Amino acid sequence: MKFLKLTFRNAGRHTLRTVLTVFGMAIAVMAFAVIRTAIEAWYSQAEASSPNRLVTMNNVSIVFTLPLAYQSKIEAVPGVNTVAHAQWFGGVYIDAKNFFPKFAIEAEPYLKMYPEWVVPEDQKEAFLKERNAAMIGRKLADRFGWKVGDAVRIVGDIFPGDWDFVIRAIYTGAKENTDENSWMFHYEYLDERMRRETPARAGEVAWFVVQIDDPTRATALSEQIDALFKNSPAETKTQTEEAFALSFVAMSGSIIAGMQIISVMVIGIILLVLANTMAMTARERISEYAVLKTLGFSPKHIVGLIFGESLVIAVLGGALGIALTFPIVGLMKLALSAYFGAFPLPALTFILAGGSAVVVGLLAAIFPASKALRTTIVDGLRVID
């Protein structure tokens, strides 16, 4: 107990230096945890995918479309339960900065395949009945203050013209990582207008969502579906929904890799800061360590004092950094909820952040402890502050 008391008193002898070092540690640990949370947010959409859903798209790119006529052939594949088609709509609401994803979907089978979208029954019926009805996520509704019954005009870019919608349903996610920022409307509304104004673009879809009866056969069924359209003008690429979502994450691979490197660099920088603090402390106390050795303190006591002081500073900084992570991630949710479905804070993030603080505390004490042990009593007593 006396040893611990001495360790804490040593840590508080230079109050300003200790406080600044603790805050430096806290900011580094907080930055590490926040960066990891941002990376987790990138992958959260893929983690929300279902193993019994496949996505069939054009083999070249999702930019290229597929004929709607493919749907009946996919539905005939044994093991396929349901198929629904969708099209990326694009479009602008008032200003391009008001971005949110907009999809034209085959509504009825889509809703059956996505039970994680929780929609009040009366709103679902109203959405299915009305051709220009839209169904939107709760976060999107909150972002623009929309409610059921509101009329909204979207200006098309991929599909030019003014598109008028009426919001008939607002869904919430059954899981935390379910996306609530999407705008969906009936594919028929889009296709009917295309048939009138641009017949060449009618009957084209961006992808099919395929619900299968056995997730363990996902690979075999994917190959079977793609074989149906091999050597056709529009060959297909079928993959699991998770792989489909990860393909979008891969487009940001360089950004994610950069963030991972930065998170490691942050820990490295604070290691240098704490090591410098401990080196200054050890240099200032060389004469004190000599006195302690004269009084009979063993080398392990000297090492314990130095490591203990370093760990106290590191752990205090780590704990403060973890505590600061929650409000910062809360601010991230407010600022970026339009782009990411969830900002998960898994236990692994805190374990890594706390573990990094402890490791930094141990590493920072190695050099000063080694110097204190190498210094003889005579040399130590000659040191004058």
Of 142-156, 173-187, 257-271, the one with minimum mean pLDDT is 257-271
- Residue 367 sits at φ, ψ, to 5 deg, of -65, -50
The residues facing 104 across adjacent strands are 87, 185
- Can you read off the two tokens belonging to residue 342? 């969830």
Distance CA(216)–CA(54), nearest Å, equals 12
Contact 142, 184 (CB under 8 A): no
- pLDDT-based confidence at 75, cuts 50/70/90? very high
Q: What pLDDT sits at residue 251?
A: 67
Please indicate whether residue 281 or residue 81 has the higher confidence score (pLDDT): 81
pLDDT above 70: residue 179: yes
The residues facing 80 across adjacent strands are 212
Contact 88, 103 (CB under 8 A): yes
Give residue-wise pLDDT tens across range 88-110: 998 999 998 888 999 999 999 99
Matching residue, tokens 């204190």: 372
pLDDT above 90: residue 246: no
Helix (H, G, I), strand (E, B) or coil at 296: coil
Name the average pLDDT for the chain.
87
Distance CA(352)–CA(317), nearest Å, equals 14
- Can you read off the two tokens belonging to residue 205? 């879809």
Instruction: Kindly state the helix (H) or strand (E) to which residue 163 belongs, with its residue range.
Output: strand 161-173
- pLDDT-based confidence at 1, cuts 50/70/90? low
Q: What is this structure's pTM?
A: 0.69
Q: Which of 119-123, 258-262, 290-294 has the highest mean pLDDT?
A: 119-123
pLDDT above 60: residue 385: no
- Can you read off the two tokens belonging to residue 48? 């929300």
